[in-house]
Chain A
Amino acid sequence: MRAKIAPEDFIMTGNRRRRFFINKPLQVRYMFAVAIPLLLICCTAMFGFYLGIWGGVLGAFTDEEMRNDMLTASRMVEYEQARYQPSKPSFSVLSLFRETDKLSQRQQEVLQGILNETNRAILWKLLLLLAFTAWGSIFISHKIAGPLYRFSKVFNEVEAGNYRSRIFLRKGDEGHPVARELNEALETTDRLLSDLKNALRDPNQAQALTRIKEKLDRIKTSADV
């Protein structure tokens, strides 16, 4: 008789995976179905915050004293530009904010400068977030795809007749309870088949048949219908 394997024995000790993609189609589907919508929601929220923050900044321009100072400062520069070097209007991120239409050219330039500086500071953080999200989605999909892969592998082995195979999952993988139950089921089947094989090895044929019959009577199959 084989020794019973404790549930904790099914847990693999190492956490490191050798490959990023165990089941590439599944993981990619998972990323598209779960991670990308999450990323979009995250980005939309960030963009909303971004607009909100800048809306607040621009709103400050409606403060009369500040607006007057800004207007005067920008007028001074516009005078200089008109006298020394006319500038040509160009597309800018500011066009996202409709209220900037009412600002003077100089004000728009000042805001454009602040926006550019902020955007540069945000850009690398956003890239970091994207990389983190990509890594995270692969990591999370791994926890799903890994167990499914192992389930599939064990089922194939069982189909091939190897009832000694068991499902071993890594710590932190999803599906430990299911794996435990399946392993228990496999163990029961393995034990039954082992008993049948042992009975067949009995030299007393009559006694062997009786033992086999006893074992099989406890089993419900399609043949019993």
Chain B
Amino acid sequence: MFRRSLCFLLIIFLSLPTTVSAYIPTPEENELLTTIERDTLQYFIRLSDKNTGLTRDSSRTGSPCSIAATGFALAAFAIGNERGWITKEYAYGRILSTLKVLKEKAEHQNGFFYHFLDARTAKRVWASEASSIDTALLLAGALLAAQYYPGTEVETIAHELYRRVNWRWMMNGSKFICMGWTPESGFLPYYWDSYNELMLLVALAVGAPENACPPSTWHDWLRPEGNYNGHRVIFASSGSLFTYQYSHAFIDFRGLKDQGNDFFENSREATLANRDFSMSFSEKHKGYSENSWGLSASVGPGGYKAYGALPGGAIHDGTIAPYAALSSLPFTPELSVAAVKFFHKSYGKSLYGNFGFKGAFNLDKMWCADEYLGIDQGISLLMLENFLNDGAVWKKFMALDAIKKWRAVTGLTTAPRETVSPGLSSGAATQAASPLPQ
């Protein structure tokens, strides 16, 4: 009898959702994060061209427009409207005019836009390449915006832009998607063949309605494993935090199992490894501490570099990019919130401005960036939105037919969810709620 009761209790216990401690931000923290998100939106409002809608790569004078930043801008306007920070007329108008320019004026090659465009003419500048990853980020923003305005011209044009991309052409006859193409030298000798920010690109390429890449394009890229301080990570060669974030800004990887890999958990481990790595150098670099971390590609005292941690390239010189910790909010909420509060309180005077956090700082060299980067602001805004607004971006994006197709043809399975996060509950019918484990 006792044994049967024990077994019964054990079964009951195992059938209960696993409770993982989840971080609940205080009202003050929520207010701070909301303020940051609203301020960050200003980057896209102020630094997108009034006529073409193209968004500047950087706030620095003379900076060209970046199609990746423009993609984030499209998403940002829709989110800003949803949050009530800008009117629907304004947001919709800006998104529509931008999409029209992208469709009719912006230079492209087989649907792939050139990385940098002139703000007024939408023509290629700086001999930039027709970029696969930046086109993916642009299309992701456009498709996300389309989800906010279903049945409108925005949705129509966004899907037209998506359909006209010849993803197979960018494979250049190989197993992988090429990084880019230039009229001068053809395809670049680099391919998306190993883990990094490629997941969004490959998902859109495989899930495309026309000229899609085969499912093997998803399966074949390398998933190299590394370990740092007990954190097992499928790592990117640079070790930059952004590589673990960009795809997750749009795609909800929670519960998705890829060949047994959980990329949401992977990004969490990578974030913890990145933090541990910088903390191990806290005696050498003044800027590194338990609340001051985030090694990711950013501007630095010596220019833009792919800063990162182990496992990976691990280039670092004491430069911290605030967007890195901020954009890890869904993965490490408590640590990220603590970092954001620290950055804001300790260095806010020089590090925080009208458009949110600036690019980076380096205490060893008493240096602070005097510019904001469009893609840094974009990833920050989207991750803040996911964290503060119940995974709003994820829900919209995961509902896209392209994403459903990608999941179906690649056989990505959904693992049972564990528990509901106070910070993030799921409203999607196809997915159970997920915690933000800490």
The answer to whether A and B assemble together is yes
By a beta-carbon cutoff of 8 Å, the part of chain A in contact with chain B is 64-65, 68-69, 71-76, 78-79, 81-84, 86, 89, 101, 104-108
Q: A69-B62, A75-B58 are in contact. Are A86 and B304 (CB under 8 A)?
A: no
- Judge whether A82 and B62 touch: CB under 8 Å: no
- 16 interchain pairs, CB-CB under 8 A: A65-B62, A72-B60, A72-B62, A73-B126, A74-B303, A75-B58, A76-B116, A78-B304, A82-B297, A82-B304, A82-B306, A83-B306, A84-B188, A86-B305, A86-B315, A104-B304
Q: B60 near A86 (CB under 8 angstroms)?
A: no
Q: Which residues of B contact A71 (CB under 8 A)?
A: 60, 62
Report chain A residues within 8 Å CB of B179: 83-84
- B115 proximity list for chain A (CB < 8 A): 79
Instruction: Output the least CB separation between B123 and chain A (Å).
Output: 16
Interface contact A68-B62, CB-CB below 8 Å: yes
Say if the beta carbon of B313 comes within 8 Å of chain A. yes
Does B63 lie at the interface of the complex (its beta carbon under 8 Å from any beta carbon of A)? yes
Nearest-neighbor residue (CB-CB) of A87 within chain B: B305
- B278-293 residues at the A interface, CB under 8 angstroms: none
Q: For A72, give its contact among B126, B238, B313 (CB under 8 Å).
A: B126
Which residue on chain B has the smallest CB distance to residue A75? B304
| B 289-338 contacts with A by CB, 8 A | 297, 301-306, 313, 315
* SS of B interface (majority): loop
Q: If A72-B62, A72-B126 touch, does A89 touch B302 (CB 8 Å cutoff)?
A: yes
Q: Are the CB atoms of B63 and A72 closer together than 8 Å?
A: yes
Rounded to whole angstroms, the CA-CA distance of A73 and B315 in the bound complex is 22
Q: Top 9 nearest A-B pairs by Cβ distance?
A: A68-B62, A104-B303, A82-B306, A78-B304, A105-B303, A76-B126, A78-B303, A72-B62, A68-B61
Binding site for A on B (CB under 8 A): 57-58, 60-64, 115-116, 126, 128, 179, 188, 190, 238, 297, 301-306, 313, 315
Q: Which residues of A contact B63 (CB under 8 A)?
A: 72, 75
A-B contacts besides A72-B62, A82-B297, A104-B302, 5 pairs, CB < 8 Å: A81-B306, A82-B306, A83-B179, A83-B190, A84-B188
- CB of B126 within 8 A of CB of A82, answer no
Q: Are A86 and B313 in contact (CB under 8 A)?
A: yes
* Chain A residues whose CB sits within 8 angstroms of the CB of B57 once the complex forms: 75
Q: Say whether A106 contacts B62, CB under 8 Å.
A: no
Q: Which residues of A contact B306 (CB under 8 A)?
A: 81-83, 86
Cα A105 to Cα B304 in complex, Å, equals 8
Q: Which residues of B contact A75 (CB under 8 A)?
A: 57-58, 63, 303-304
Chain A residues in 8 Å Cβ range of B297: 82
Per DSSP, are chain A's interface residues mostly helix, strand or loop, or mixed?
helix
Provide the residues of chain B in CB contact with A86, threshold 8 Å.
238, 305-306, 313, 315
Contact of A84 with B190 at beta-carbon distance under 8 Å, contacts A69-B62, A76-B126 already known:
yes
Minimal Cβ-Cβ distance residue in A for B63? A72
A44 to chain B, nearest CB (A): 31
Our pick among A76, A81, A89, A105 for the contact of B128 (Cβ within 8 Å) is A76
Known: A82-B297, A86-B313. A68 touches B302 (CB 8 A): no
B189 closest partner in A (C-beta): A84
> Whose C-beta in chain A lies nearest to the C-beta of B237?
A86
State the CA gap A64–B238 with chains docked (Å).
33
**CA of A105 to CA of B297 in the docked complex: distance in angstroms?**
14
| A contact residues around B64 at 8 Å (CB) | 72
Taken together as a complex, chains A and B put the C-alpha atoms of A76 and B127 apart, in Å, by: 9
Cβ distance B241 to chain A, nearest Cβ, rounded Å:
13
CA distance A66 to B301 in the complex (A): 20
Q: How far is the CA of A101 from the CA of B302 in the complex (A)?
A: 7
CA–CA, A2 to B302, complex, Å?
87
Residue of B nearest to A68 (CB): B62
Closest partner residue, chain B, to A102 (CB atom):
B301
Q: Enumerate chain A residues within 8 angstroms of B313, measured Cβ to Cβ.
A: 86
| Interchain CA distance A65-B62 in the complex, whole Å | 8
Q: Residue A106 contacts which of B58, B60, B61, B303 (CB distance < 8 angstroms)? A: B303
Q: Which residues of B contact A68 (CB under 8 A)?
A: 60-62
- Chain A residue nearest in CB terms to B62: A68
Chain B residue with the shortest CB-CB distance to A73: B126
Q: How far is the CB of B178 from chain A (nearest CB, A)?
A: 12
Minimum CB–CB distance for A66 against chain B, Å: 10
Q: In the complex, A89 Cα to B307 Cα: how many Å? A: 13
A103 to chain B, nearest CB (A): 8
A74–B116 Cα distance when bound, in Å, is 14
Chain B residues with CB below 8 A from A64, complex form: 61
